[in-house]
Amino acid sequence: MKREIVYGLRSLRPRPLTMFALWSLPEALPAALSGVAVARAVDEGFLAGRPLVGLAWLASVMVAAGIGALGARGVYRRLGDLVEPFRDDLVTLTVEGALSRAVRGEGDDGALARLTHQSEIVRDTYAGLLVLTRGFCVTTIGAVVGLASVSPLVLAWTLPPFALGLGLFLATLGLAARRQREYVRSDEELSTTVTRVLGGARDLAAGGARPWALDLAGRAVDAQARAERSLAGVAVLRTLCFAVGGWLPLIALLAAGPWLVSRGVTAGAILGGLTYVLIGLQPALGSLVQGLGGSGLRFVVTLGRILDTAATPPPPPQPAAGRALGHLSVCGLTFAYGPRAAPALDGLDLDLPAGSHLAVVGPSGIGKSTFAGLCAGLLEPGAGTVTIDGHGPDSPELRVLIPQEAYVFTGTVAENLSYLRPGASAGELDRAAQAVGAAALVARLGGHDTVIRPADLSAGERQLLALTRAYLSPAPVAILDEATCHLDPAAEERAETAFAARGGTLIVVAHRISSARRAGSVLVLDGTSAVHGDHTTMPERSPMYRELLGHWEAAAQIQPAS
Amino acid sequence: MSVHGPIVRRGGAWLPVLAVSSLSGAAVALALPTVLGRAVDAIVTGSDSGRWLALTALLITAGIIADLVDTLAGTVCVASTTAWLRRRVLGHLLDLPPVSSARFDTGDLVSRVSGTAPQAAQSGLSLVTVFAAIAPPVGSLVLLTLIDWWLAVAFLAGLAAIALVLRTYTRRTTQVVADYQRVQGELAGRLSEALAGARTIAAAGTTAAERDRVLRPLPELHRHGRLTWRVLAGTGAKAAVVGPMVLMGVLAAGGIALSRHRISTGDLFAAGQYAMQGAGLGGLTGVLGGLARARAGVRRMDEVLTEDVMPYGQAVLPAGPGRLELRDVSVEAGGRRVLDGVDLDLPGGASVAVVGRSAAGKSTLAAVAARLRDPDAGSVLLDGTALEQLDRESLRSAVGCAFERPVLVGATVADAIGLGRGDGFARRAAEATYAHDWVSRLPEGYATPLDSAPMSGGEAQRLGLARAWGARRLLVLDDAMSSVDTATEALIRRALTRDHSGRTRLIVTHRASTAAGSDLVVWLDGGRVRGVAEHSDLWLDPDYRAVFTSEEDPR
């Protein structure tokens, strides 16, 4: 809780905060004046037989309310100055966190919810807390000043129980935040589980797993109900604190009434005192208890979740010195997805001189993408190294990876194509598109300046754009990780041939065995070993390769020529 | 039959308790100003104030106790009713026909279970709340009138002013908020694109550029955000005037009455208090809104709960080889006959491929055979017993189905395969379907959480296949290996053909090689059976060969 409060306080800009506080002063006026005005209106006006004086006193409260209204307007305007920059920070933090987790390969379902839903909760509750705290301070100070001016004796009887209640309430906040966090967590857990179970209703029915699924979801339902019940305990504590701070001053004042009258305190003063308690201290404490207990806790919990996922952006990569050739060297490369997992790669050695063309083949799930990820510096090897021209993984400008799911963002065609070569000329873009076979697509889209949306393009079209982009990249090593799987065989061949002629080193994670036929050398992964050789000798050396080849050819025979 | 009644009954003993406590809370709130006023009068006139003081203390204590009971009982009542309702709806949803022209999508159903259920669960409580909330402001108004009717007039005039201010607020905010949300949506869209391209971004080291690209609409968001506060500022200012206006109006009317000795000092004090409580009338809209939400919630629950479940019979599957018969089976979907009078008699223990162009009815045939939906006409028999006569347990253990897009459910990979049949089952099934080696390479093997095991379509299909492997009499594969690579598919196909457990296998496929490896091929065309024969015989027909050329290449 401390971290979130500190973050919230640090985000307050001093200048707008000062203005915010200054505008609060006129706003406090009605609260401060009302008790005194009522006391005077009664004592000197209505009871003294001068109703006009009484009315004048009441009218003075309305004048004060008018000034207070100006204050309120100023306060809310300044609120924007405080809250909007805070929201900007949150959004930035969320985006940075989500991106840096995503590039580390960590799945993150909640990023969009954090960006839209949760940052809005924090924005609203932050504003709410500012208004609330300020309102509490203003009203309390106003009421205390008013009480003192009515009679210091009245103040002495009412302030201590109020302060006690306030202190007790603040002490319960830590517990409340913990329970609230648990509640939110159980709620999310519930909706994740329910989404799974209902999304898989067909599969669960087919598997005869109704009782199991109902039990799975039922556990989450019960956990949520437990968390909700435990919130009731906190609410009871809050009610008790409010009883002490809000009602005890009243009883104290009434109990002391006869004594106060004997000390010369007037009827108006007691009425004024009661007014300050009932329309000042008690509602102020009430809204503080409600507000901190509700939106305050939501603020802490939700902000906490955003801060948990925040990350410092990585330092910009340092360009490697020297001319890039693309000599890729793999040495003792070992990788497993976890301490208990069997290694996907085990002590792999491979040397690809600049200009090589390698195809990686093997069944799905065998570690081909893992190998591509290691070459591209996306994964950290358990042992061994991958270097390009002697440089380690911190030199992203030396390699370009095109994954199966091509990345296209909303923007112009040119923005998308020149992503890895900022400032590329129109001619360069056209030549690259022509080379990989995307020229017709670019023309159909309407040229370089058309704004495209990824959802409007087919998977194959996205792949063609990503291929053109990668072709333009100055990186000497290109890694195609099933990057052509949505293209037909002819288009695939054209793209691969273009990349082979591009210069530098090409690694193709093969989707079809034909990719291996085109490559200078083949790396076969079969789960236990890796065999590297050329396409002609490989069938003799690798049973797995033989099998893959066999399936391809068998399928091609059964398949009539198309 | 609405679920409203059961919800109220679920509230059980809590509801009367809540009714008593909230009504006594309301009574205390109404009595307190008068009693306080008397206490003030007693203190001022120096008469015996002890009695009034004791009464005040008593009332306040009673009020606090009522408040505590409200809080505690309200939460417990709603929490347990919600849990009960959620379990009931979930159970019902899992009983619906698994494949149907779905009226509800999953997101909608999830929102009903997680969001709507708590609202519907309030439907007993909210009635109590409405009564308890109406009593103080209405009672205040009555009591104001009883003290002096001018007070009530002053009060109502003030309320009208407040209502006017609040109305203008809602209208202006809507537009400003809509603009703000539009920009926010744009930001979210940019982020979601970048997240989808994470691998490209990571390899290119362009995270910083992406951050700037995603955040480009932020200044615009900032501008719209500020506007929302400006609108609020105008309304806040008005509220700051009209709020005190109600109280001061009542006090002015009361003051004049006091000076004319129509009321006492204590009365004036009480009047001020009633004016403030009466202002709670504005809060009534919130309470009534709660009631409306509860009612709407119950309706949304009813919509789901009145959907017909899939009935099961009592029969137990007799011993047999797994002979599958379809007798004049027709299925309609979207106003179209998806299956049209299909008659099939498939021998037990055979591997049968189902082929046909897109929309020929292959998946519907699979769904009907696995009783994931019932045909609109005709019947499906397994070893002579109609599927709908079998009891649930008997049917589901005999018949299994693997899908083109399996949805994996469970905390871990083992759960997703086992579905409660134990880790031993998961491992045996994975071994039988050649998924074991791959699962072993996952970070924690079978214990790997599904969330942290990113899966390609082919990998998910392999788990889906292992999951269905336990079917004893009939195993249906609905295009369930379309994304599995050729080598693995060949291994699995071999396992399927050499399967000696004597069950029938119905394999929907696009691949000629799979059809070639099966004992028998069912060729569907436009919802009708075009032919049932061996692949090599059917191959002579150019129309049959055309079925495969239209599909994508087989890799």
pLDDT tens column, B299-345: 889 988 998 899 999 999 998 889 999 999 999 887 788 899 999 99
Average pLDDT score over residue span A267-279: 82
How would residue A172 be classed by pLDDT, with cut points 50, 70 and 90?
very high
Question: Cβ contacts (< 8 Å) between B184 and chain A: which residues?
Answer: 115-116, 120
- A251 to chain B, any CB pair closer than 8 A? The answer is yes
Residue A44 has pLDDT above 60, yes or no: yes
Eight-state DSSP code of residue A422? T
The answer to whether residues A555 and B554 touch, using CB atoms and an 8 Å cutoff, is yes
Query: What whole-number distance in Å separates Cα of residue B142 and Cα of residue B344?
Result: 80
Q: How many CB atoms lie within 10 A of CB B533?
A: 15
Chain A, 283-342: which have a CB under 8 Å from a chain B CB? 313-314, 316-317, 336-342
Contact B36 A405 (CB under 8 A): no
CA dihedral (B482, B485, B490, B492) in degrees, to 10, reads -70
Interface-testing mutation among A76, A250, A488, A512, with chain B (most B C-beta atoms within 10 A) = A76
| Helix runs in B96-197, H state only | 106-111, 117-120, 123-147, 149-196
Contact A365 B462 (CB under 8 A): yes
pLDDT at A322: 62
Average pLDDT score over residue span B96-121: 80
Per the structure block, which two tokens stand in for A407? Answer: 């990345």
Contact B554 A555 (CB under 8 A): yes
**CA B200 to each of CA A28, A314, A469, A470, A498: distance values in angstroms, whole numbers, following the listed order:** 57, 16, 11, 10, 20
Average pLDDT score over residue span B99-110: 73
Pick from A88, A194, A377: CB nearest B114: A194
Per the structure block, which two tokens stand in for B464? Answer: 């889906």
Residue A162 has pLDDT above 90, yes or no: yes
Residue B517 has pLDDT above 60, yes or no: yes
Interface-testing mutation among B390, B486, B511, with chain A (most A C-beta atoms within 10 A) = B486
pLDDT at A562: 34
**CA A163 to each of CA A149, A237, A243, A388, B65: distance values in angstroms, whole numbers, following the listed order:** 19, 16, 12, 69, 22
pLDDT at A560: 41
What b/e string do you get for A323-345 counting C-beta neighbours within 10 Å, with b at 16 or more?
ebbbbbebeebebbbeeebbbbb
Question: Cβ contacts (< 8 Å) between A212 and chain B: which residues?
Answer: 419-420
Question: Cβ contacts (< 8 Å) between A103 and chain B: which residues?
Answer: 198, 201-202, 207
Query: What whole-number distance in Å separates Cα of residue B236 and Cα of residue B157?
Result: 20
Mean of per-residue pLDDT scores for chain B: 85
Query: Which ipTM value was assigned to this complex?
Result: 0.83
Task: Determine the angle formed by the axes of helices A282-291 and A119-150, rounding to 10 degrees.
Answer: 160
- Shortest Cα distance from A4 to chain B (angstroms)? 22
Interface-testing mutation among B10, B59, B116, B248, with chain A (most A C-beta atoms within 10 A) = B248
Question: Cβ contacts (< 8 Å) between A230 and chain B: which residues?
Answer: none
| Distance in angstroms between the alpha carbons of the first and the last residue of chain B | 55
Residue A107 has pLDDT above 80, yes or no: no
pLDDT at B454: 67
DSSP β-ladder status, A328-335 and A345-352: antiparallel
- Which among B468, B30, B519, B88 has a CA at the least distance from the CA of B306? B88
Residue B265 has pLDDT above 70, yes or no: yes
Question: Cβ contacts (< 8 Å) between A92 and chain B: which residues?
Answer: 211, 215, 218
pLDDT higher at B540 or B245: B540
Residue A98 has pLDDT above 90, yes or no: no
The percentage of chain B sitting over the pLDDT mark of 70, rounded to a whole number, equals 94
Question: Cβ contacts (< 8 Å) between A525 and chain B: which residues?
Answer: none
Angle at alpha carbon of residue B43, lines to B41 and B44, rounded to 5°: 65
pTM, 2 dp: 0.77
Q: How many CB atoms lie within 10 A of CB B149?
A: 12
Residue in chain B nearest A237 by alpha carbon: B68
Taking every pair of Cα atoms in chain B, the longest distance, rounded to a whole number of angstroms, is 116
Pick from B98, B201, B397: CB nearest A201: B98
Name which of A275-284, A424-433, B46-55, B505-514 the model is least confident about.
Answer: B46-55
- Shortest Cα distance from A200 to chain B (angstroms)? 5
In the beta sheet, which residues pair with residue B5? none
pLDDT digits (tens, 9 = 90+) for A133-158: 988 988 898 888 888 888 888 899 89
Pick from B192, B237, B438: CB nearest A365: B438
Count of CB contacts below 8 A, A vs B?
500
pLDDT digits (tens, 9 = 90+) for A57-77: 989 988 988 998 898 888 888
Residue in chain B nearest A272 by alpha carbon: B269
Residue in chain A nearest B36 by alpha carbon: A254
Q: Could you identify the residue written with the tokens 């809602």?
A: B170
Question: Cβ contacts (< 8 Å) between B237 and chain A: which residues?
Answer: 69-70, 72-73, 76
Interface-testing mutation among B192, B199, B456, with chain A (most A C-beta atoms within 10 A) = B199
Interface-testing mutation among A91, A408, A452, A545, with chain B (most B C-beta atoms within 10 A) = A91
Cβ-based neighbours of A481, under 8 Å, separated by 6 or more: A368, A369, A372, A373, A401, A402, A403, A404, A509
Contact A88 B221 (CB under 8 A): yes
Question: Cβ contacts (< 8 Å) between A213 and chain B: which residues?
Answer: 94, 409, 419
Helix (H, G, I), strand (E, B) or coil at A383: strand
Query: What whole-number distance in Å separates Cα of residue A329 and Cα of residue B127?
Result: 75
Angle at alpha carbon of residue A75, lines to A69 and A78, rounded to 5°: 145
- Shortest Cα distance from B528 to chain A (angstroms)? 24
Query: What whole-number distance in Å separates Cα of residue B329 and Cα of residue B379?
Result: 6
Query: What whole-number distance in Å separates Cα of residue A517 and Cα of residue B73?
Result: 74
pLDDT higher at A58 or B511: A58
Contact B195 A88 (CB under 8 A): no
Average pLDDT score over residue span A288-297: 88
- Shortest Cα distance from B145 to chain A (angstroms)? 20
DSSP per residue over B310-337, as a string?
A: PP--SB-PPS-S--EEEEEEEEEETTEE
Cβ-based neighbours of A135, under 8 Å, separated by 6 or more: A284, A287
- Shortest Cα distance from B39 to chain A (angstroms)? 7
* DSSP count for chain B of H helices, then E strands: 22, 10
- Shortest Cα distance from A5 to chain B (angstroms)? 23
Query: What whole-number distance in Å separates Cα of residue B17 and Cα of residue B22?
Result: 9
pLDDT at A146: 85
Query: What whole-number distance in Å separates Cα of residue A44 and Cα of residue A38?
Result: 10
Question: Cβ contacts (< 8 Å) between B543 and chain A: which residues?
Answer: none
- A105 to chain B, any CB pair closer than 8 A? The answer is yes
The answer to whether residues A64 and A272 touch, using CB atoms and an 8 Å cutoff, is no
- Which among B468, B407, B483, B455 has a CA at the least distance from the CA of A365? B455
- Which among A375, A349, A356, A403 has a CA at the least distance from the CA of A511? A403
Chain A, 457-516: which have a CB under 8 Å from a chain B CB? 466, 473, 479, 488-489, 511-513
Contact B210 A99 (CB under 8 A): yes
* Centroid of chain to Cα A59: 52
Q: How many CB atoms lie within 10 A of CB B235?
A: 19
What b/e string do you get for B239-269 counting C-beta neighbours within 10 Å, with b at 16 or more?
bbbbbbbbbbbbbbbbbbbbbeeebbbbbbb
The answer to whether residues B376 and B330 touch, using CB atoms and an 8 Å cutoff, is yes
Pick from B53, B222, B512: CB nearest A558: B512
Q: How many CB atoms lie within 10 A of CB A174?
A: 11
Average pLDDT score over residue span B116-139: 84
Residue B170 has pLDDT above 70, yes or no: no
Burial of B353 (0-12, 13-18, 19+ CB in 10 A): buried
Query: What whole-number distance in Å separates Cα of residue B370 and Cα of residue B326?
Result: 12
pLDDT digits (tens, 9 = 90+) for A298-324: 899 889 888 888 766 555 555 555 667
Residue type, B435: A
Q: For A219, list phi and psi in degrees, rounded to 5.
A: -65, -40
pLDDT digits (tens, 9 = 90+) for B233-252: 877 787 777 777 888 889 88
pLDDT at A62: 87
Residue A285 has pLDDT above 90, yes or no: yes
Q: Could you identify the residue written with the tokens 């207990």?
A: A293
Cβ-based neighbours of A9, under 8 Å, separated by 6 or more: none
How would residue B555 be classed by pLDDT, with cut points 50, 70 and 90?
very low
Per the structure block, which two tokens stand in for A274? Answer: 């009661």
Query: What whole-number distance in Å separates Cα of residue A154 and Cα of residue A486?
Result: 82
pLDDT at A465: 94
Q: SS in 3 state form for B393-460?
A: HHHHHHEEEECCCCCCCCCEHHHHHHCCCCHHHHHHHHHHCCCHHHHHCCCCHHHCEHHHCCCCHHHH
Per the structure block, which two tokens stand in for A515? Answer: 């990719």
How would residue A551 be classed by pLDDT, with cut points 50, 70 and 90?
low
- Which among A428, A424, A406 has a CA at the least distance from the CA of A415? A424
**CA A59 to each of CA A155, A309, B241, B271: distance values in angstroms, whole numbers, following the listed order:** 25, 54, 12, 18
- Shortest Cα distance from B205 to chain A (angstroms)? 6
Per the structure block, which two tokens stand in for B241? Answer: 């005037």
Pick from A98, A341, A513: CB nearest B191: A98
Q: Could you identify the residue written with the tokens 């207070």?
A: A68
Q: Could you identify the residue written with the tokens 């010369």?
A: A264
In the beta sheet, which residues pair with residue B325? B345, B381
Pick from A70, A107, A116: CB nearest B452: A107
- Which among B124, B159, B129, B122 has a CA at the least distance from the CA of B141? B159
Question: Cβ contacts (< 8 Å) between B447 and chain A: which residues?
Answer: 340
The percentage of chain B sitting over the pLDDT mark of 90, rounded to a whole number, equals 30
The percentage of chain A sitting over the pLDDT mark of 70, rounded to a whole number, equals 94
Contact A95 B445 (CB under 8 A): no
The answer to whether residues A522 and A534 touch, using CB atoms and an 8 Å cutoff, is yes
The answer to whether residues A363 and A547 touch, using CB atoms and an 8 Å cutoff, is no
Residue B368 has pLDDT above 90, yes or no: yes
pLDDT at B552: 41
pLDDT higher at A547 or B477: B477
pLDDT digits (tens, 9 = 90+) for B391-449: 999 999 999 999 988 989 988 999 999 998 877 899 999 998 888 988 888 888 899 88
Average pLDDT score over residue span A222-239: 91
pLDDT at B375: 93
Interface-testing mutation among B99, B110, B224, with chain A (most A C-beta atoms within 10 A) = B110
Average pLDDT score over residue span A478-502: 88
Query: What whole-number distance in Å separates Cα of residue B433 and Cα of residue B466?
Result: 6
pLDDT digits (tens, 9 = 90+) for B185-216: 888 888 888 888 888 888 888 888 899 999 99
Average pLDDT score over residue span A391-415: 87
How would residue B49 be classed by pLDDT, with cut points 50, 70 and 90?
confident
pLDDT higher at A171 or B181: A171
**CA A132 to each of CA A120, A288, B105, B489: distance values in angstroms, whole numbers, following the listed order:** 18, 7, 41, 64
Residue B261 has pLDDT above 70, yes or no: yes
